[in-house]
Structure 1
């Protein structure tokens, strides 16, 4: 991944993660948390896909879709 994309995605992921977990951090810490989480998630998913094939990617997609549905029901459809 290019470093700029990693920082942008990491910043967004860190922002969302700190808000979901209700943690108050400054901007550099939020970006560091997000970049670390993005790297860790990428490595774990890459490892699972190499071991189990595309089943892990499908399971990840289903879990992501379930998370979006939960977020929709919890925050938007009220």
Structure 2
């Protein structure tokens, strides 16, 4: 089942990435780009989290809080 999920997520990621980069590719190439990109991105993300440890969580929390404040200022109640 995890292999099937990787292929489905890879196909979606490959489709989105090829459209963002304005590439015209066939379906197998799109899926391959997505699956390889997911594997590579996962490895890089795991390495960064292992390298930075708790600091990565803190940075993520700060970015989340900043995004929440930004949304609150735009869509929150007006004074």
The two structures have a TM-score, normalised by structure 1, of: 0.69
Residues of 2 paired with 1:54 and 1:5: CA distance?
29
Secondary structure at the residue paired with 1:23? coil
TM superposition shift of 1:2: 1.3
TM superposition shift of 1:36: 0.4
Residues of 2 paired with 1:17 and 1:4: CA distance?
20
Residues of 1 paired with 2:46 and 2:13: CA distance?
18
Q: Which has the larger radius of gyration?
A: 2
Task: Point out where structure 2 has 5 or more consecutive residues left out of the alignment.
Answer: 68-79
The count of residues paired between Structure 1 and Structure 2 equals 61
Structure 1 partner of 2:53: 53
Structure 2 vs 1, CA of residues 53 and 36 (structure 1 numbering), >3 Å: closer, same or farther?
A: same
